[in-house]
Amino acid sequence: MTNSAASGLRARPGELTNEELRNYVASPLAACSTASLDPDEWFPIAAGTARARAEASHALAVCAICPIQAECLEMSLRQWSSVGQHGIWGGLVAAERQVLRREWRSGIPVAKLLSRQTSARLSRKAAVLPRRSRILSLARNINGVANNPGIALHCLHFTR
């Protein structure tokens, strides 16, 4: 029995050979294989994580629904000295993968790394939401704003 994208068998990405990983990443299972994005969307220029994620937002949206995200990340980490450190792989920008690579090299499986990365990103977003709703609440309560649609909320300046 072989582990291949065509056979439908799934092993942990760390248990796959390089050839099997390539087969997964190049297969129709990969969401990017059918995405009609400009190739530049997969290669953000910014070095900082937040800016790189913003530049690659369309590509990251494709990765978010990809069933072989872990295999893709595993391939990137294995191929780090060549193609693996450039562009979007496994739903992560280069700076994120570089941090995860240290942990991966210590033996932590990519599925666990991806799970922790996703949880951390969701926690950061959840921490921002209360502040946004406070600001919107303040904006609604400022005299005249609620009744004057001509005033844009982004024009208002708030201080703590």
Instruction: List, in order, residues 6 or more apart from 143 with CB less than 8 Å away.
Output: none
pLDDT by position in tens, the chain (length 160): 344 444 444 568 788 888 988 888 889 999 998 888 998 999 999 989 999 999 999 999 999 999 999 999 999 999 998 888 899 999 999 999 998 999 999 998 888 888 887 766 666 555 555 555 555 555 454 444 444 444 443 333 334 3
| pLDDT at residue 152, rounded to an integer | 41
- pLDDT tens string 67-82: 999 999 999 999 998 8
Instruction: List, in order, residues 6 or more apart from 1 with CB less than 8 Å away.
Output: 7, 9
Q: Is residue 160 part of a domain?
A: no
Q: CA dihedral in degrees (6, 9, 13, 17; nearest 10)?
A: -60
Q: Is residue 117 part of a domain?
A: yes
What's the number of domains the chain is made of? Answer: 1
Phi/psi of residue 90, each to 5°?
60, 25
Q: How far apart are CA 20 and CA 10, in angstroms?
A: 11
- The 3-state DSSP composition of the chain as helix, strand, coil percent (nearest 5) reads 60, 0, 40
Domain membership of residue 83 as a residue range? 13-155
Query: Rounded to two decimals, what is the model's pTM?
Result: 0.67
Q: Is residue 5 part of a domain?
A: no
Q: Is residue 61 part of a domain?
A: yes
Sign of CA dihedral 120, 76, 62, 42: positive
Q: Is residue 17 part of a domain?
A: yes
Q: Is residue 109 part of a domain?
A: yes
Q: Is residue 47 part of a domain?
A: yes
Q: Is residue 24 part of a domain?
A: yes
